[in-house]
Amino acid sequence: MTKEIKRIDGRKSNQLRPMMAKVGVIPNADGSAMFAFGDTVAIAAVYGPRKLHPQHMQDPSTGVLRCTYDLLSFSVEDRKKPGPSRRSQEISKVTGWALEPIIDLGAFPNTVIDVQVYILQADAGTRTAGINAASMALAHAGIPMRDLVCSVAVGKQDKDFVVDLTKEEEDFKEGEGATDFAIAKLAGSDEFSLLQLDGKIRPEEINEVLKLASESCKEIYEVQKKALKEAVSQK
């Protein structure tokens, strides 16, 4: 049974923010999608597979998944400098790691699949919203995939675990301090493709966290799946 606690915005500990998802949001891309957790809004565009340049980087045995993540300058209250930061470069790599297990890159030798993720509005959970959008965009682009990837962050409010943190919750300093555990999971299996922890979680608590994330991923998957089905029905 989930422990009932009072969160800053009134949600239950296992309750996600309202979600929105849509595919086909960027007409010039091969595939695109939008995914939102509350006030956090991410869009993703996929281009490819296409020949990788320069030619010396090509690999005849496999393709390359190249991910780019960035916050747009107007997405946060304090306007950020345009262009990639150290944090955005890190999350670009993390996004690639989360998505690679669902794609058979060996089927696309000498090519690159570019995934570009941009945050239009940020209120925590940007990397997880971006991964959800990117997974949908890959499917929309017709890239053969094992599964969709669902992603959510689990954190703490004092000693209690909560899903899908807001920025205010992410900055929570009381009790055991701020904790942000970004998790990505293949929708149709128990396989996790990303476990990234900022903060502290005791080893004996890991199973509780993964169970909480897995239940949330089921809800995320239904939202992703509905958006993709709606896009197909509109063709």
pTM: 0.92
Q: What is the DSSP string of 175-204?
A: TT---EEEEEEETTSS-EEEEEEES---GG
Q: How far apart are the first and last CA of the chain?
A: 43
The pLDDT assigned to 76 comes to 58
Across 156-176, average pLDDT? 80
What mean pLDDT comes out for the span 111-116? 97
pLDDT tens string 68-81: 999 886 655 555 56
Q: Which domains does the chain show, CATH number per domain?
A: 19-233 (3.30.230.70)
pLDDT > 50? residue 1: no
CB 65 within 8 A of CB 96: yes
* Over residues 113-122, mean pLDDT: 96
**Cα torsion angle, 109, 140, 90, 79, sign:** positive
pLDDT at 231 over 90: no
- Both tokens of residue 46? 């996929």
Backbone angles phi, psi at 228, to 5 degrees: -70, -40
- Say whether pLDDT at 18 is over 60: yes
Average per-residue pLDDT for the chain: 90
**Which pLDDT band, with edges at 50, 70 and 90, does 154 fall under?**
very high
Residue 124, token pair as written in the block: 């925590």
